[in-house]
Amino acid sequence: MWSIAPSGPLRGDVTVRGSKNAVTKQMVAAVLADGPSVIRRAPEVGDVEITAEILRSLGVSVEIDHAAGEITVEVGAHVKPEVPLSFSGLNRIPILLLGPLLHRTGEAFVPLVGGDPIGRRPVDYHISALRQLGAEVEERADGLAAKATQLKGARIDLPYPSVGATETVLLTAALAEGRTVLRNAATEPEVIELALLLQRMGARIELSPDRRIVIEGVERLVGAQSTLAGDRNEAFSYLVAGLVTGGAVRVHGCAQDRLVTAITTLNRMGARFEITDDYILASAPDGLRPAAVHTDTHPGFMTDWQTPLVVLFTQAEGMSVLHETVYEDRLVYVPALQQMGAEIELFQTCLGGPACRFHDANSLHSAVVKGVSKLRGANVEVPDVRAGFSSVIAAAIADGPSVLRGIHHLERGYHRPAEQFAELGLQLDVH
């Protein structure tokens, strides 16, 4: 639980580590290798600890040096094929282990996936891909069971460029016999980072135009080393924290090329930037303008960015629109902001861009935000990682103290957030 007092402008420097959305996937990739793999610039987040415990339960050695930001993963002599049910619903990693476990043991069981309650994360894309690669997959009430004597390459077309399903194909096809051609693949930077690590391990991967990835299966992968690129979600969040509070935050550790669309969006709202090879600094001395933003798969505006963006909308003079097209329930954090005085209306209609795949559903996936809203302190229950950050920056500009419960969600996805915020001038007590 955090108690937060109105803190005035947040100013200072933040250094982000590697991406939360990349590090855990690379830990899974290490299960495919003979010999140790080392991941550098690893963030100290809850998802890393959860993933480490999952791997250890399978007989995989995981050593974490928090001070150095290094994780070493090495497969032991005997790998267990089942992820214990105690890991049900904690994060999304277990389903990505199906392919690696099939290669290691010929069978696998993983419990139901978890993660933030932001909408359906359909496992059918994963199941279909695994079946096309030669696995027998059984859906059970408590999870997924799979068997395979020999996984073989296949032509796979994803109905939607799902990040998780693309990662499943990369992790499974790398050691499958023959060629796999994946169409409509996700191309997020974290997916490319996974592909690059697999290539260092000896995988044969070709990134082709039009969202096509070609994987030539090899007989063996070896341990490798990688250095994670900066977390673009975290970098954007802290840039917005400065803008929301009328301050200016200088973010180190995340390259400009990972924030191109985000920077332009904030610039259109009135933000001014100072960008070098070492840092990105954002400020808005002349105030903020409203905007209409449409989230999308990479290279579009990232869905994780919209949560702090909506808080920024509350401080922009006029009406702003957010159209979410990736997860139909991503706006679950809005009631907490409304509780704090934010003027936000949710709609089932597609707003702020072309009609999306949720246009004929009953999903509240568009938001209209009126600014400038005077926010008030409140007792808030945080529902997920990104909502945690939005609640913190909203509390920073509220007219009274706030208490945030469920803050473990924030700590699951951000590197030492209490320390980072305190250094920027946020007045908070951790209970």
Mean pLDDT of 140-153: 94
Burial class (CB in 10 A: 0-12, 13-18, 19+), 104: buried
Q: Band the pLDDT of 232: cuts 50, 70, 90.
A: very high
Q: Are residues 310 and 358 in the same domain?
A: yes
Residue 314: pLDDT over 50:
yes
> DSSP letter at 229?
P
Q: Band the pLDDT of 383: cuts 50, 70, 90.
A: confident
User: How many CA atoms lie less than 13 Å away from 133 in the CB half-sphere?
Assistant: 38
Query: What does the pLDDT read at residue 382?
Result: 86
Check if the beta carbon of residue 99 is closer than 8 Å to that of residue 198.
Answer: no
Q: Which amino acid is at 1?
A: M
Based on its alpha-carbon atoms, the radius of gyration of the chain, rounded to whole angstroms, reads 22
Mean pLDDT of 372-395: 89
Query: What does the pLDDT read at residue 217?
Result: 98
Check if the beta carbon of residue 129 is closer than 8 Å to that of residue 157.
Answer: no
Query: What does the pLDDT read at residue 329?
Result: 82
Active site residues per annotation: 116
Of 2-11, 20-29, 113-122, 181-190, the one with minimum mean pLDDT is: 113-122
Q: Which domain holds residue 57?
A: 20-227
> DSSP letter at 35?
S
Query: What does the pLDDT read at residue 117?
Result: 39
Contacts of 335 (CB under 8 A, 6+ apart): none
Peptide bond into 299 cis (omega under 30): yes
Query: What does the pLDDT read at residue 122?
Result: 62
Query: What does the pLDDT read at residue 115?
Result: 44
Residue 121: Cβ within 10 Å count: 18
Residue 43: pLDDT over 80:
yes
Domains of the chain: total: 2
Q: Are residues 104 and 154 in the same domain?
A: yes
Query: What does the pLDDT read at residue 345?
Result: 97
Query: What does the pLDDT read at residue 14?
Result: 97
Query: What does the pLDDT read at residue 163?
Result: 95
Paired strand residues for 232: none
Give residue-wise pLDDT tens across range 403-424.
999 888 888 889 999 999 999 9
Q: Are residues 220 and 340 in the same domain?
A: no
Give residue-wise pLDDT tens across range 337-379.
999 999 999 999 999 888 898 888 888 999 999 999 999 999 9
Q: Which of 180, 201, 227 is the endpoint of a domain?
A: 227
Contacts of 351 (CB under 8 A, 6+ apart): 292, 321, 322, 323, 366, 368
Q: Are residues 250 and 125 in the same domain?
A: no
For residue 194, what is the domain's CATH number?
3.65.10.10
Query: What does the pLDDT read at residue 386?
Result: 67
* 3-class secondary-structure state, position 14: strand
Rounded to whole angstroms, how far apart are CA atoms 393 and 285? 18
Q: Are residues 399 and 425 in the same domain?
A: yes
Q: Which of 227, 246, 276 is the endpoint of a domain?
A: 227
Query: What does the pLDDT read at residue 279?
Result: 98
- Cα torsion 345, 282, 250, 65: sign: positive
Q: Which pTM value belongs to this model?
A: 0.93
Q: Which of 227, 247, 277 is the endpoint of a domain?
A: 227
Could you give the percent of the chain with pLDDT greater than 90? 86
Give residue-wise pLDDT tens across range 102-142.
999 999 999 987 543 333 446 889 999 999 999 999 999 88
Q: Are residues 262 and 211 in the same domain?
A: no
Q: Are residues 167 and 240 in the same domain?
A: no
Check if the beta carbon of residue 377 is closer than 8 Å to that of residue 400.
Answer: yes
Q: Are residues 303 and 187 in the same domain?
A: no
Q: Are residues 53 and 190 in the same domain?
A: yes
Q: Are residues 221 and 361 in the same domain?
A: no
Mean of the per-residue pLDDT values of the chain: 94
Give residue-wise pLDDT tens across range 61-94.
999 999 999 999 999 889 999 999 999 888 889 9
Rounded to whole angstroms, how far apart are CA atoms 66 and 408? 18
Residue 143: pLDDT over 50:
yes
Q: Are residues 254 and 354 in the same domain?
A: yes
Could you give the percent of the chain with pLDDT greater than 70? 98
* 3-class secondary-structure state, position 197: helix
Residue spans of alpha helices (H) in 174-299: 189-201, 232-244, 260-268
Query: What does the pLDDT read at residue 421?
Result: 96
Q: Are residues 239 and 222 in the same domain?
A: no
